[in-house]
Amino acid sequence: MELIQAGKYLGSGLATVGLVGAGAGVGIVFGALIMSVARNPTLKAELFRFAILGFALTEAIGLLALMMAFLILFM
């Protein structure tokens, strides 16, 4: 029984590694937004819409990784 619990802890810990990728992805999205607005400030509103879409999709991957970690841990 202890081996199963240890496996759950290990698996859920490995599943949370996806959150690192989501954090890096969000940083890349908004870094690219800042560089793009610096190059062409007239497109700020349109670029911001694309950045929010990129943020939402990247964050969804992070939430899926977190959900998998909780499913592994508590199932």
* Tally of domains in the chain: 1
In angstroms, rounded to a whole number, what is the distance separating the alpha carbons of residues 72 and 75? 6
Residue 15 near residue 72, CB atoms below 8 Å:
yes
Residue 17 main-chain phi, psi, to 5 deg: -65, -25
Q: What is the CATH number of the domain that holds 63?
A: 1.20.20.10
Q: Provide the residue range defining the domain that includes 55.
A: 2-74
The model's pLDDT over 45-74, given as tens digits with 9 standing for 90+, comes to 999 999 999 999 999 999 999 999 999 999
Predicted TM-score (pTM) of the model is: 0.81
- Roughly how many angstroms between the first and final C-alpha of the chain, as a whole number? 14
The model's pLDDT over 15-51, given as tens digits with 9 standing for 90+, comes to 999 899 999 999 999 999 999 999 999 999 999 999 9
In angstroms, rounded to a whole number, what is the distance separating the alpha carbons of residues 11 and 7? 6
